[in-house]
Structure 1
Amino acid sequence: MSKVWLITGAARGLGRSILEAALAAGHDVVATARDPERLADLKTRYGDHLLPFKLDVTDAEESLKAVDVAISAYGRLDVLVNNAGFGHLAPFEQISAEDFKAQIDTNLYGVINLTRAALPVMRKQRAGTIINISSVGGRVGTPGMSAYQAAKWAVSGFTEVLALEVAPFDVKVIALEPGGMRTDWGHTARGNVPELIPDYQQSVGAIATLLKAYAGNEVGDPDKIARLVVSLPEHDSLPNHLLLGSDALYVFGQAEAARQKAAADWAQISASTDFDGSNVSELLEKLHP
Protein backbone atom coordinates (compact mmCIF):
# COMPACT_ATOMS: atom_id res chain seq x y z
CA MET A 1 0.00 0.00 0.00
CA SER A 2 1.36 3.42 -0.97
CA LYS A 3 2.33 5.69 1.92
CA VAL A 4 3.44 9.29 2.32
CA TRP A 5 7.02 9.64 3.52
CA LEU A 6 9.09 12.58 4.75
CA ILE A 7 12.85 11.96 4.65
CA THR A 8 15.47 14.41 5.92
CA GLY A 9 19.00 14.60 4.57
CA ALA A 10 17.78 12.96 1.37
CA ALA A 11 20.29 14.37 -1.10
CA ARG A 12 23.18 12.03 -0.37
CA GLY A 13 24.40 9.00 1.53
CA LEU A 14 21.91 6.80 3.32
CA GLY A 15 19.15 9.37 2.94
CA ARG A 16 19.45 9.25 -0.83
CA SER A 17 19.35 5.44 -0.77
CA ILE A 18 16.21 5.47 1.39
CA LEU A 19 14.58 8.01 -0.91
CA GLU A 20 15.28 5.94 -4.01
CA ALA A 21 13.99 2.77 -2.32
CA ALA A 22 10.79 4.49 -1.15
CA LEU A 23 10.09 5.91 -4.61
CA ALA A 24 10.83 2.58 -6.29
CA ALA A 25 8.32 0.95 -3.93
CA GLY A 26 5.60 3.34 -5.14
CA HIS A 27 5.45 5.73 -2.20
CA ASP A 28 5.00 9.52 -2.28
CA VAL A 29 7.91 11.36 -0.67
CA VAL A 30 8.69 14.83 0.62
CA ALA A 31 12.49 14.79 0.46
CA THR A 32 14.31 17.50 2.37
CA ALA A 33 17.83 18.72 1.78
CA ARG A 34 19.85 21.87 2.20
CA ASP A 35 20.25 21.82 -1.59
CA PRO A 36 17.15 20.24 -3.15
CA GLU A 37 18.55 20.80 -6.65
CA ARG A 38 20.56 17.64 -6.04
CA LEU A 39 17.27 15.75 -6.30
CA ALA A 40 16.44 17.08 -9.78
CA ASP A 41 17.17 13.77 -11.52
CA LEU A 42 14.76 11.89 -9.28
CA LYS A 43 12.13 14.60 -9.66
CA THR A 44 12.32 14.18 -13.44
CA ARG A 45 11.94 10.42 -13.12
CA TYR A 46 9.18 10.28 -10.51
CA GLY A 47 7.25 13.51 -11.10
CA ASP A 48 4.50 14.23 -8.59
CA HIS A 49 5.51 11.29 -6.41
CA LEU A 50 8.52 13.33 -5.23
CA LEU A 51 8.38 16.78 -3.64
CA PRO A 52 11.83 18.22 -2.83
CA PHE A 53 11.87 20.75 0.00
CA LYS A 54 14.74 22.95 1.14
CA LEU A 55 15.25 22.43 4.85
CA ASP A 56 17.78 23.05 7.56
CA VAL A 57 16.58 20.60 10.22
CA THR A 58 17.87 22.87 12.99
CA ASP A 59 15.14 25.38 12.07
CA ALA A 60 12.00 24.45 14.02
CA GLU A 61 9.69 26.71 11.98
CA GLU A 62 10.92 25.30 8.68
CA SER A 63 10.45 21.78 10.06
CA LEU A 64 6.79 22.58 10.70
CA LYS A 65 6.51 23.85 7.13
CA ALA A 66 7.97 20.61 5.78
CA VAL A 67 5.19 18.62 7.46
CA ASP A 68 2.59 21.15 6.25
CA VAL A 69 3.90 20.68 2.72
CA ALA A 70 3.42 16.92 2.99
CA ILE A 71 -0.15 17.33 4.23
CA SER A 72 -1.00 19.92 1.56
CA ALA A 73 0.47 17.82 -1.25
CA TYR A 74 -0.59 14.31 -0.24
CA GLY A 75 -3.22 14.67 2.48
CA ARG A 76 -1.43 12.75 5.23
CA LEU A 77 1.96 11.74 6.61
CA ASP A 78 2.62 8.07 7.27
CA VAL A 79 6.38 7.78 7.74
CA LEU A 80 9.01 10.21 9.03
CA VAL A 81 12.67 9.29 8.56
CA ASN A 82 14.98 11.48 10.63
CA ASN A 83 18.20 10.86 8.75
CA ALA A 84 20.03 14.21 8.50
CA GLY A 85 23.25 14.26 10.48
CA PHE A 86 27.04 14.47 10.49
CA GLY A 87 30.03 13.96 12.76
CA HIS A 88 33.53 15.39 13.13
CA LEU A 89 36.37 13.45 14.71
CA ALA A 90 38.36 15.40 17.30
CA PRO A 91 39.21 15.22 21.01
CA PHE A 92 36.57 17.02 23.06
CA GLU A 93 39.25 19.44 24.27
CA GLN A 94 39.95 20.43 20.67
CA ILE A 95 36.37 20.78 19.39
CA SER A 96 35.23 24.37 19.15
CA ALA A 97 32.06 25.28 21.01
CA GLU A 98 30.50 26.19 17.66
CA ASP A 99 31.27 22.81 16.09
CA PHE A 100 30.05 20.89 19.14
CA LYS A 101 26.78 22.84 19.14
CA ALA A 102 26.31 22.39 15.39
CA GLN A 103 26.58 18.62 15.73
CA ILE A 104 24.11 18.56 18.63
CA ASP A 105 21.72 20.89 16.80
CA THR A 106 21.67 18.77 13.64
CA ASN A 107 21.89 15.25 15.04
CA LEU A 108 19.59 15.73 18.05
CA TYR A 109 17.48 18.85 17.63
CA GLY A 110 16.89 18.04 13.99
CA VAL A 111 15.20 14.83 15.15
CA ILE A 112 13.28 16.71 17.83
CA ASN A 113 12.11 19.45 15.46
CA LEU A 114 10.74 17.10 12.82
CA THR A 115 9.19 14.77 15.38
CA ARG A 116 7.49 17.67 17.13
CA ALA A 117 6.06 18.74 13.78
CA ALA A 118 4.93 15.28 12.65
CA LEU A 119 3.62 13.73 15.84
CA PRO A 120 0.33 15.67 16.16
CA VAL A 121 -0.56 14.62 12.61
CA MET A 122 0.18 10.96 13.29
CA ARG A 123 -1.67 11.04 16.61
CA LYS A 124 -4.81 12.37 14.92
CA GLN A 125 -4.45 9.74 12.19
CA ARG A 126 -4.00 7.03 14.84
CA ALA A 127 -1.22 5.70 12.63
CA GLY A 128 2.34 6.47 11.63
CA THR A 129 5.95 5.38 11.87
CA ILE A 130 8.92 7.48 12.99
CA ILE A 131 12.32 6.06 12.04
CA ASN A 132 15.27 7.76 13.71
CA ILE A 133 18.65 7.05 12.18
CA SER A 134 20.88 6.80 15.22
CA SER A 135 24.11 4.77 15.31
CA VAL A 136 25.79 1.99 17.20
CA GLY A 137 27.61 5.07 18.51
CA GLY A 138 24.37 5.74 20.38
CA ARG A 139 25.05 2.63 22.46
CA VAL A 140 28.86 2.74 22.82
CA GLY A 141 31.58 5.35 23.31
CA THR A 142 34.30 6.11 20.76
CA PRO A 143 37.24 8.46 21.44
CA GLY A 144 37.00 11.54 19.27
CA MET A 145 33.23 11.41 18.74
CA SER A 146 31.97 13.19 21.88
CA ALA A 147 29.58 15.60 20.13
CA TYR A 148 28.23 13.12 17.59
CA GLN A 149 27.77 10.30 20.06
CA ALA A 150 26.32 12.55 22.76
CA ALA A 151 23.62 13.40 20.22
CA LYS A 152 23.13 9.79 19.13
CA TRP A 153 22.86 8.51 22.71
CA ALA A 154 20.20 11.17 23.22
CA VAL A 155 18.38 10.17 20.03
CA SER A 156 18.31 6.52 21.07
CA GLY A 157 17.05 7.42 24.55
CA PHE A 158 14.50 9.87 23.16
CA THR A 159 13.26 7.17 20.81
CA GLU A 160 12.74 4.67 23.60
CA VAL A 161 10.74 7.11 25.72
CA LEU A 162 8.68 8.35 22.78
CA ALA A 163 7.86 4.82 21.64
CA LEU A 164 6.33 4.10 25.04
CA GLU A 165 4.34 7.33 25.02
CA VAL A 166 2.79 6.95 21.57
CA ALA A 167 2.12 3.20 21.47
CA PRO A 168 -1.46 3.57 22.82
CA PHE A 169 -2.49 5.43 19.64
CA ASP A 170 -0.69 3.13 17.21
CA VAL A 171 2.30 5.26 16.27
CA LYS A 172 5.53 3.26 16.04
CA VAL A 173 8.99 4.69 16.77
CA ILE A 174 12.32 2.96 16.19
CA ALA A 175 15.99 3.94 16.41
CA LEU A 176 18.15 2.30 13.77
CA GLU A 177 21.72 1.90 15.02
CA PRO A 178 24.00 0.99 12.11
CA GLY A 179 27.70 0.41 12.14
CA GLY A 180 29.88 1.54 9.28
CA MET A 181 28.26 2.10 5.89
CA ARG A 182 29.78 2.81 2.49
CA THR A 183 28.64 6.42 2.36
CA ASP A 184 30.66 9.62 2.63
CA TRP A 185 30.14 9.78 6.43
CA GLY A 186 33.69 8.63 7.17
CA HIS A 187 35.19 11.19 4.80
CA THR A 188 33.23 13.97 6.48
CA ALA A 189 34.16 12.76 9.96
CA ARG A 190 37.88 12.69 9.10
CA GLY A 191 37.83 15.90 7.08
CA ASN A 192 38.15 18.23 10.07
CA VAL A 193 40.57 16.40 12.35
CA PRO A 194 42.84 18.99 13.96
CA GLU A 195 46.52 18.44 14.63
CA LEU A 196 46.14 16.35 17.73
CA ILE A 197 47.58 17.33 21.07
CA PRO A 198 50.15 14.55 21.60
CA ASP A 199 48.35 13.27 24.71
CA TYR A 200 45.39 12.27 22.50
CA GLN A 201 47.37 10.26 19.97
CA GLN A 202 46.84 6.99 21.83
CA SER A 203 43.05 7.36 22.00
CA VAL A 204 41.72 9.67 19.27
CA GLY A 205 44.73 9.14 17.02
CA ALA A 206 44.11 5.38 17.03
CA ILE A 207 40.50 5.93 15.96
CA ALA A 208 41.59 8.29 13.18
CA THR A 209 43.93 5.61 11.87
CA LEU A 210 41.18 2.99 12.10
CA LEU A 211 38.67 5.17 10.23
CA LYS A 212 41.17 5.84 7.46
CA ALA A 213 41.68 2.13 6.92
CA TYR A 214 37.95 1.33 7.26
CA ALA A 215 36.72 3.98 4.82
CA GLY A 216 35.55 2.25 1.66
CA ASN A 217 35.64 -1.15 3.37
CA GLU A 218 32.62 -0.75 5.65
CA VAL A 219 30.40 -3.81 5.89
CA GLY A 220 27.11 -1.86 5.79
CA ASP A 221 25.38 -1.75 2.39
CA PRO A 222 23.30 1.47 2.19
CA ASP A 223 20.97 0.01 -0.44
CA LYS A 224 20.21 -3.05 1.70
CA ILE A 225 19.63 -0.81 4.70
CA ALA A 226 17.36 1.40 2.61
CA ARG A 227 15.23 -1.54 1.51
CA LEU A 228 14.96 -2.64 5.13
CA VAL A 229 13.88 0.88 6.15
CA VAL A 230 11.13 0.87 3.51
CA SER A 231 9.82 -2.44 4.86
CA LEU A 232 9.66 -1.38 8.51
CA PRO A 233 6.28 0.45 8.46
CA GLU A 234 4.63 -2.77 7.29
CA HIS A 235 5.46 -4.54 10.57
CA ASP A 236 2.76 -4.58 13.23
CA SER A 237 5.34 -3.88 15.95
CA LEU A 238 8.92 -2.69 16.01
CA PRO A 239 11.74 -2.87 18.55
CA ASN A 240 12.81 0.39 20.15
CA HIS A 241 16.36 -0.21 18.91
CA LEU A 242 17.66 -2.16 15.93
CA LEU A 243 21.37 -2.64 15.38
CA LEU A 244 22.40 -2.93 11.73
CA GLY A 245 25.56 -4.63 10.54
CA SER A 246 27.75 -7.35 11.95
CA ASP A 247 30.26 -4.71 13.06
CA ALA A 248 27.54 -2.99 15.09
CA LEU A 249 26.59 -6.31 16.68
CA TYR A 250 30.22 -7.01 17.57
CA VAL A 251 31.01 -3.56 18.99
CA PHE A 252 27.77 -3.39 20.95
CA GLY A 253 28.29 -6.93 22.27
CA GLN A 254 31.69 -6.01 23.67
CA ALA A 255 30.42 -2.78 25.22
CA GLU A 256 27.39 -4.49 26.74
CA ALA A 257 29.54 -7.26 28.22
CA ALA A 258 31.80 -4.66 29.80
CA ARG A 259 28.78 -2.82 31.24
CA GLN A 260 27.32 -6.03 32.65
CA LYS A 261 30.65 -6.93 34.24
CA ALA A 262 31.04 -3.47 35.78
CA ALA A 263 27.47 -3.59 37.12
CA ALA A 264 28.12 -6.97 38.70
CA ASP A 265 31.51 -5.97 40.11
CA TRP A 266 30.04 -2.84 41.71
CA ALA A 267 26.60 -4.22 42.62
CA GLN A 268 27.29 -4.36 46.35
CA ILE A 269 28.44 -0.75 46.39
CA SER A 270 25.46 0.28 44.24
CA ALA A 271 23.04 -1.31 46.70
CA SER A 272 24.85 0.13 49.72
CA THR A 273 23.35 3.57 49.07
CA ASP A 274 19.77 2.41 49.92
CA PHE A 275 18.06 3.33 53.17
CA ASP A 276 18.51 0.51 55.67
CA GLY A 277 15.72 -2.03 55.44
CA SER A 278 14.55 -0.96 51.98
CA ASN A 279 12.75 -3.66 49.99
CA VAL A 280 12.90 -2.84 46.31
CA SER A 281 10.64 -5.75 45.32
CA GLU A 282 7.76 -4.40 47.41
CA LEU A 283 8.29 -0.90 46.04
CA LEU A 284 8.29 -2.05 42.41
CA GLU A 285 5.15 -4.12 42.99
CA LYS A 286 3.37 -0.97 44.17
CA LEU A 287 4.60 1.01 41.19
CA HIS A 288 3.80 -1.76 38.68
CA PRO A 289 1.01 -3.92 40.12
Structure 2
Amino acid sequence: MTVSTPLLKTWLITGASSGIGLNATKQLLQDGHKVIALVRSPQKLQAFTDQYPTTLNILKLDLTQTEKIAPSVERAFQHAGRIDVLLNAAGYALVGAAEELNENAISTQITTNLLAPIYLTKAALPYFREQKTGHILHISSEGGQITYPSASIYHASKWGAEGFFEALAKEVQNLGIKVTLIEPGRIKTEFDNNAVITEPQLDDYRKTTVGTYFRLLAMGRFPMIGDPAKVAQMIIKVSTVTNPPLRLILGSDSYKNIIRETENRLQAAKEQQKTAKSTDIKFIDEN
Protein backbone atom coordinates (compact mmCIF):
# COMPACT_ATOMS: atom_id res chain seq x y z
CA MET A 1 0.00 0.00 0.00
CA THR A 2 1.28 3.45 -0.94
CA VAL A 3 0.94 5.71 2.08
CA SER A 4 0.29 9.41 1.61
CA THR A 5 1.65 12.14 3.87
CA PRO A 6 -0.06 11.77 7.28
CA LEU A 7 -2.37 14.67 8.15
CA LEU A 8 -4.45 15.35 11.20
CA LYS A 9 -8.01 14.32 10.38
CA THR A 10 -11.47 14.34 11.90
CA TRP A 11 -13.11 10.94 12.33
CA LEU A 12 -16.76 10.07 12.92
CA ILE A 13 -16.88 6.73 14.75
CA THR A 14 -19.71 4.48 15.87
CA GLY A 15 -19.00 1.86 18.51
CA ALA A 16 -16.26 4.10 19.91
CA SER A 17 -16.75 2.94 23.50
CA SER A 18 -15.66 -0.68 23.07
CA GLY A 19 -13.66 -3.12 20.97
CA ILE A 20 -12.09 -1.97 17.72
CA GLY A 21 -13.86 1.38 17.85
CA LEU A 22 -12.45 2.16 21.31
CA ASN A 23 -8.92 1.15 20.32
CA ALA A 24 -9.09 3.30 17.20
CA THR A 25 -10.45 6.23 19.21
CA LYS A 26 -7.61 5.96 21.76
CA GLN A 27 -4.90 5.88 19.11
CA LEU A 28 -6.39 8.70 17.06
CA LEU A 29 -6.70 11.00 20.07
CA GLN A 30 -3.17 10.17 21.20
CA ASP A 31 -1.89 11.10 17.73
CA GLY A 32 -3.69 14.44 17.74
CA HIS A 33 -6.64 13.62 15.48
CA LYS A 34 -10.19 14.74 16.26
CA VAL A 35 -12.91 12.18 16.98
CA ILE A 36 -16.66 12.57 17.03
CA ALA A 37 -18.01 9.49 18.78
CA LEU A 38 -21.55 8.28 18.23
CA VAL A 39 -22.22 6.01 21.20
CA ARG A 40 -25.19 4.64 23.11
CA SER A 41 -23.52 5.14 26.51
CA PRO A 42 -21.49 8.40 26.57
CA GLN A 43 -20.40 7.82 30.17
CA LYS A 44 -18.07 5.06 28.98
CA LEU A 45 -15.90 7.71 27.33
CA GLN A 46 -16.00 10.27 30.12
CA ALA A 47 -12.34 9.78 31.01
CA PHE A 48 -11.35 10.57 27.46
CA THR A 49 -13.54 13.68 27.44
CA ASP A 50 -11.59 15.03 30.41
CA GLN A 51 -8.27 14.13 28.78
CA TYR A 52 -9.08 15.40 25.28
CA PRO A 53 -11.58 18.24 25.81
CA THR A 54 -10.89 19.92 22.46
CA THR A 55 -10.43 16.90 20.18
CA LEU A 56 -13.17 14.52 21.37
CA ASN A 57 -16.87 15.23 20.96
CA ILE A 58 -19.45 12.68 22.05
CA LEU A 59 -22.96 12.41 20.64
CA LYS A 60 -25.44 9.98 22.11
CA LEU A 61 -27.02 7.68 19.56
CA ASP A 62 -28.75 4.32 19.82
CA LEU A 63 -28.35 2.78 16.37
CA THR A 64 -31.64 0.92 16.67
CA GLN A 65 -33.39 4.31 16.67
CA THR A 66 -32.77 4.72 12.98
CA GLU A 67 -34.80 7.92 12.70
CA LYS A 68 -32.12 9.68 14.78
CA ILE A 69 -29.17 8.64 12.61
CA ALA A 70 -29.37 11.32 9.91
CA PRO A 71 -29.89 14.20 12.40
CA SER A 72 -26.91 12.93 14.43
CA VAL A 73 -24.68 12.84 11.35
CA GLU A 74 -25.83 16.37 10.45
CA ARG A 75 -24.96 17.57 13.97
CA ALA A 76 -21.54 15.95 13.69
CA PHE A 77 -20.71 17.70 10.43
CA GLN A 78 -22.08 21.02 11.68
CA HIS A 79 -19.92 20.73 14.80
CA ALA A 80 -16.75 19.71 12.98
CA GLY A 81 -17.21 21.69 9.79
CA ARG A 82 -15.50 18.85 7.97
CA ILE A 83 -15.18 15.11 8.59
CA ASP A 84 -12.56 13.08 6.74
CA VAL A 85 -13.29 9.51 7.80
CA LEU A 86 -16.43 7.62 8.78
CA LEU A 87 -15.70 4.44 10.74
CA ASN A 88 -18.67 2.12 11.21
CA ALA A 89 -17.38 0.03 14.11
CA ALA A 90 -20.55 -0.74 16.08
CA GLY A 91 -21.96 -4.24 15.94
CA TYR A 92 -22.48 -7.50 17.77
CA ALA A 93 -23.26 -11.16 17.11
CA LEU A 94 -26.59 -12.94 17.41
CA VAL A 95 -25.86 -16.63 17.91
CA GLY A 96 -28.25 -19.56 17.69
CA ALA A 97 -30.10 -21.81 15.27
CA ALA A 98 -32.17 -19.66 12.92
CA GLU A 99 -35.38 -21.55 13.74
CA GLU A 100 -34.95 -20.87 17.45
CA LEU A 101 -34.30 -17.12 17.24
CA ASN A 102 -37.17 -14.75 17.97
CA GLU A 103 -38.14 -12.16 15.39
CA ASN A 104 -37.30 -9.19 17.59
CA ALA A 105 -33.75 -10.44 18.07
CA ILE A 106 -33.40 -10.95 14.32
CA SER A 107 -34.74 -7.47 13.55
CA THR A 108 -32.42 -5.81 16.08
CA GLN A 109 -29.38 -7.63 14.68
CA ILE A 110 -30.14 -6.60 11.10
CA THR A 111 -30.90 -3.02 12.15
CA THR A 112 -27.69 -2.61 14.17
CA ASN A 113 -25.25 -4.42 11.88
CA LEU A 114 -26.69 -3.62 8.44
CA LEU A 115 -29.37 -0.92 8.27
CA ALA A 116 -27.69 1.52 10.67
CA PRO A 117 -24.36 1.55 8.79
CA ILE A 118 -26.25 2.03 5.52
CA TYR A 119 -28.21 4.98 6.94
CA LEU A 120 -25.08 6.48 8.52
CA THR A 121 -23.21 6.24 5.25
CA LYS A 122 -26.13 7.62 3.25
CA ALA A 123 -26.34 10.60 5.62
CA ALA A 124 -22.60 11.29 5.31
CA LEU A 125 -22.41 11.02 1.53
CA PRO A 126 -23.76 14.50 0.66
CA TYR A 127 -21.05 16.07 2.84
CA PHE A 128 -18.28 13.89 1.43
CA ARG A 129 -19.51 14.62 -2.08
CA GLU A 130 -19.47 18.37 -1.43
CA GLN A 131 -15.97 18.08 0.06
CA LYS A 132 -14.94 15.94 -2.93
CA THR A 133 -13.17 13.70 -0.44
CA GLY A 134 -13.94 11.23 2.34
CA HIS A 135 -13.14 7.69 3.38
CA ILE A 136 -15.79 5.24 4.56
CA LEU A 137 -14.44 2.37 6.66
CA HIS A 138 -16.80 -0.42 7.64
CA ILE A 139 -15.94 -3.12 10.14
CA SER A 140 -17.12 -6.26 8.43
CA SER A 141 -15.61 -9.60 9.43
CA GLU A 142 -14.27 -12.84 8.05
CA GLY A 143 -17.96 -13.61 8.61
CA GLY A 144 -18.71 -11.45 5.60
CA GLN A 145 -16.93 -13.98 3.40
CA ILE A 146 -17.43 -17.28 5.27
CA THR A 147 -20.14 -18.79 7.48
CA TYR A 148 -20.51 -20.79 10.67
CA PRO A 149 -23.60 -22.67 11.83
CA SER A 150 -25.42 -20.79 14.61
CA ALA A 151 -24.58 -17.40 13.11
CA SER A 152 -26.95 -17.22 10.14
CA ILE A 153 -28.43 -13.81 11.00
CA TYR A 154 -25.04 -12.35 11.91
CA HIS A 155 -23.72 -13.56 8.55
CA ALA A 156 -26.78 -12.13 6.81
CA SER A 157 -25.92 -8.72 8.26
CA LYS A 158 -22.25 -8.98 7.32
CA TRP A 159 -22.76 -10.40 3.81
CA GLY A 160 -25.41 -7.75 3.22
CA ALA A 161 -22.97 -5.02 4.25
CA GLU A 162 -20.28 -6.49 1.99
CA GLY A 163 -22.63 -6.24 -0.98
CA PHE A 164 -23.75 -2.73 -0.10
CA PHE A 165 -20.29 -1.26 0.39
CA GLU A 166 -18.79 -3.01 -2.64
CA ALA A 167 -21.53 -1.57 -4.85
CA LEU A 168 -21.23 1.82 -3.14
CA ALA A 169 -17.49 1.90 -3.87
CA LYS A 170 -18.32 1.69 -7.58
CA GLU A 171 -20.91 4.47 -7.28
CA VAL A 172 -18.57 6.97 -5.61
CA GLN A 173 -15.19 6.06 -7.10
CA ASN A 174 -15.19 9.16 -9.33
CA LEU A 175 -16.37 11.51 -6.58
CA GLY A 176 -13.21 11.46 -4.47
CA ILE A 177 -14.82 9.12 -1.93
CA LYS A 178 -13.06 5.92 -0.85
CA VAL A 179 -14.59 2.78 0.66
CA THR A 180 -12.84 0.00 2.59
CA LEU A 181 -14.33 -3.10 4.18
CA ILE A 182 -12.33 -4.31 7.19
CA GLU A 183 -12.40 -8.12 7.57
CA PRO A 184 -10.83 -9.17 10.87
CA GLY A 185 -10.82 -12.63 12.37
CA ARG A 186 -11.37 -13.30 16.06
CA ILE A 187 -9.96 -10.40 18.07
CA LYS A 188 -9.36 -10.31 21.80
CA THR A 189 -12.18 -7.94 22.69
CA GLU A 190 -15.49 -8.22 24.54
CA PHE A 191 -17.16 -9.43 21.33
CA ASP A 192 -18.08 -12.87 22.70
CA ASN A 193 -19.29 -11.40 26.00
CA ASN A 194 -21.52 -8.95 24.13
CA ALA A 195 -23.03 -11.62 21.89
CA VAL A 196 -26.72 -12.44 22.24
CA ILE A 197 -26.82 -16.22 22.54
CA THR A 198 -29.63 -18.74 22.23
CA GLU A 199 -28.30 -22.22 22.92
CA PRO A 200 -30.05 -25.14 21.18
CA GLN A 201 -33.33 -26.05 22.85
CA LEU A 202 -34.45 -28.70 20.38
CA ASP A 203 -32.77 -32.10 20.36
CA ASP A 204 -32.60 -31.98 16.58
CA TYR A 205 -30.28 -28.98 16.72
CA ARG A 206 -28.24 -30.31 19.61
CA LYS A 207 -27.34 -33.22 17.33
CA THR A 208 -26.45 -31.10 14.28
CA THR A 209 -23.61 -28.73 13.47
CA VAL A 210 -25.32 -26.18 15.72
CA GLY A 211 -24.70 -28.31 18.78
CA THR A 212 -21.19 -29.13 17.56
CA TYR A 213 -20.40 -25.45 17.15
CA PHE A 214 -21.50 -24.64 20.71
CA ARG A 215 -19.45 -27.53 22.09
CA LEU A 216 -16.34 -26.44 20.17
CA LEU A 217 -16.87 -22.86 21.31
CA ALA A 218 -17.09 -24.00 24.94
CA MET A 219 -13.87 -25.99 24.46
CA GLY A 220 -12.04 -22.88 23.28
CA ARG A 221 -11.54 -24.20 19.76
CA PHE A 222 -12.05 -20.72 18.32
CA PRO A 223 -9.33 -18.73 20.11
CA MET A 224 -9.11 -14.97 19.93
CA ILE A 225 -5.71 -14.42 18.36
CA GLY A 226 -6.16 -10.86 17.06
CA ASP A 227 -4.65 -7.90 18.90
CA PRO A 228 -7.24 -5.07 18.96
CA ALA A 229 -4.57 -2.38 19.21
CA LYS A 230 -2.77 -3.72 16.12
CA VAL A 231 -6.08 -4.00 14.26
CA ALA A 232 -6.89 -0.37 15.08
CA GLN A 233 -3.40 0.64 13.99
CA MET A 234 -3.90 -1.00 10.59
CA ILE A 235 -7.31 0.63 10.17
CA ILE A 236 -5.80 4.04 10.84
CA LYS A 237 -2.93 3.27 8.46
CA VAL A 238 -5.27 2.32 5.61
CA SER A 239 -6.94 5.74 5.97
CA THR A 240 -3.64 7.33 4.91
CA VAL A 241 -3.25 5.19 1.79
CA THR A 242 -3.57 6.94 -1.56
CA ASN A 243 -5.41 4.05 -3.19
CA PRO A 244 -6.75 1.91 -0.33
CA PRO A 245 -7.99 -1.64 -0.96
CA LEU A 246 -11.70 -2.36 -1.09
CA ARG A 247 -11.14 -5.15 1.43
CA LEU A 248 -8.56 -5.29 4.22
CA ILE A 249 -8.13 -8.75 5.75
CA LEU A 250 -6.70 -8.65 9.28
CA GLY A 251 -5.63 -11.74 11.22
CA SER A 252 -4.01 -14.96 10.06
CA ASP A 253 -7.20 -16.84 10.93
CA SER A 254 -9.29 -14.54 8.76
CA TYR A 255 -6.83 -14.85 5.88
CA LYS A 256 -6.73 -18.65 6.06
CA ASN A 257 -10.51 -19.02 6.32
CA ILE A 258 -11.32 -16.54 3.56
CA ILE A 259 -8.79 -18.04 1.15
CA ARG A 260 -10.07 -21.57 1.80
CA GLU A 261 -13.72 -20.69 1.34
CA THR A 262 -13.07 -18.52 -1.71
CA GLU A 263 -11.13 -21.31 -3.42
CA ASN A 264 -13.88 -23.83 -2.60
CA ARG A 265 -16.54 -21.47 -3.93
CA LEU A 266 -14.57 -20.83 -7.12
CA GLN A 267 -14.06 -24.55 -7.74
CA ALA A 268 -17.76 -25.27 -7.19
CA ALA A 269 -18.66 -22.50 -9.63
CA LYS A 270 -16.29 -23.80 -12.31
CA GLU A 271 -17.87 -27.25 -12.08
CA GLN A 272 -21.19 -25.71 -13.15
CA GLN A 273 -19.96 -24.09 -16.36
CA LYS A 274 -21.84 -26.46 -18.68
CA THR A 275 -25.05 -26.27 -16.64
CA ALA A 276 -24.86 -22.48 -16.60
CA LYS A 277 -24.36 -22.24 -20.37
CA SER A 278 -27.16 -24.73 -21.04
CA THR A 279 -29.80 -22.14 -20.10
CA ASP A 280 -28.61 -19.58 -22.67
CA ILE A 281 -31.07 -18.80 -25.49
CA LYS A 282 -28.48 -19.81 -28.05
CA PHE A 283 -26.94 -22.77 -26.29
CA ILE A 284 -24.37 -24.76 -28.25
CA ASP A 285 -23.22 -28.01 -26.70
CA GLU A 286 -19.49 -27.97 -27.33
CA ASN A 287 -19.30 -31.69 -26.54
TM norm structure 1: 0.91
1:138-217 to structure 2, matched below 5 A, reads: 138-189=144-195, 192-201=197-206, 202-214=208-220, 217=223
Percent identity over the alignment is 36
Structure 1 residue runs without a partner (length 5+): 279-289
2:199–2:214 contact (8 Å) kept in structure 1: no
Q: Find the aligned partners of 2:172 and 2:52 in 1 and give their Cα distance.
A: 33
| Counterpart in the other structure of 2:4 | none
Paired letter, 1:199: D
In structure 2, C-alpha distance between the alignment counterparts of 1:79 and 1:20, rounded to whole Å: 15
CA distance in 2, matches of 1:59, 1:113: 11
**SS of structure 1 residue aligned to 2:90:** coil
Asked if the contact 1:33/1:55 (under 8 Å) is kept, the reply is yes
Higher relative contact order (CA 8 A, sep 6+): 2
| Equivalence for 1:49 | 55
Matched residue, 1:120: 126
Taking the aligned partners of 1:89 and 1:170, their CA distance within structure 2 comes to 38
Q: Give the aligned partner of residue 2 of structure 1.
A: 8
Give the alignment's Cα RMSD to 1 decimal: 1.6
CA–CA distance in 1 between the matches of 2:189 and 2:221? 9
Name whichever of 64-73 and 100-109 sits farther off: 64-73
Moved over 4 A (4+): none
- CA distance in 1 between counterparts of 2:267 and 2:31 reads 45
The counterpart of 1:92, out of the listed 85, 89, 98, is 98
Residue in 2 that maps onto 1:284: none
- CA deviation after TM superposition for structure 1 residue 173, in Å: 0.5
Task: Write the distance in 1 (CA, Å) between the matches of 2:245 and 2:215.
Answer: 34
Which structure dedicates a bigger proportion of its chain to helix?
A: 1
Name the stretch that deviates more: 214-223 or 172-181. Answer: 214-223
TM superposition shift of 1:97: 0.7
Return the alpha-carbon distance in structure 1 between the equivalents of residues 272 and 166 of structure 2: 26
- Aligned partners of 1:6 and 1:80 also within 8 Å: yes
Please give the alpha-carbon distance, in whole angstroms, between the structure 2 residues aligned to 1:254 and 1:102. 31
1:108 matched to 2:126: no
Distance apart, 1:275 and its partner CA:
1.0
1:57/1:114 contact within 8 Å kept: no
Counterparts in 2 of 1:248 and 1:55: CA distance versus 1, 3 Å: same
Q: Which moved more, 1:237-246 or 1:101-110?
A: 237-246
CA contact (8 A) 1:182 1:216 kept: no
Q: Deviations over 1:135-161 (max 9, x none)?
A: 111111210111111010011111110
Counterpart position of 1:221: 227
AA aligned opposite 2:91 = G
Q: How far is the alpha carbon of 1:216 from its aligned partner?
A: 9.0
**Contact kept in structure 2, 1:86 and 1:185, CA below 8 Å:** yes
Report the AA paired with residue 196 of structure 1.
Q
Q: Secondary structure at the match of 1:142?
A: coil
User: Which of 65, 76, 99 is 2:71 aligned to?
Assistant: 65
Check whether the contact 2:216–2:222 (CA below 8 A) recurs between aligned residues: no
1:21-40 map, 5 Å: 21-40=27-46
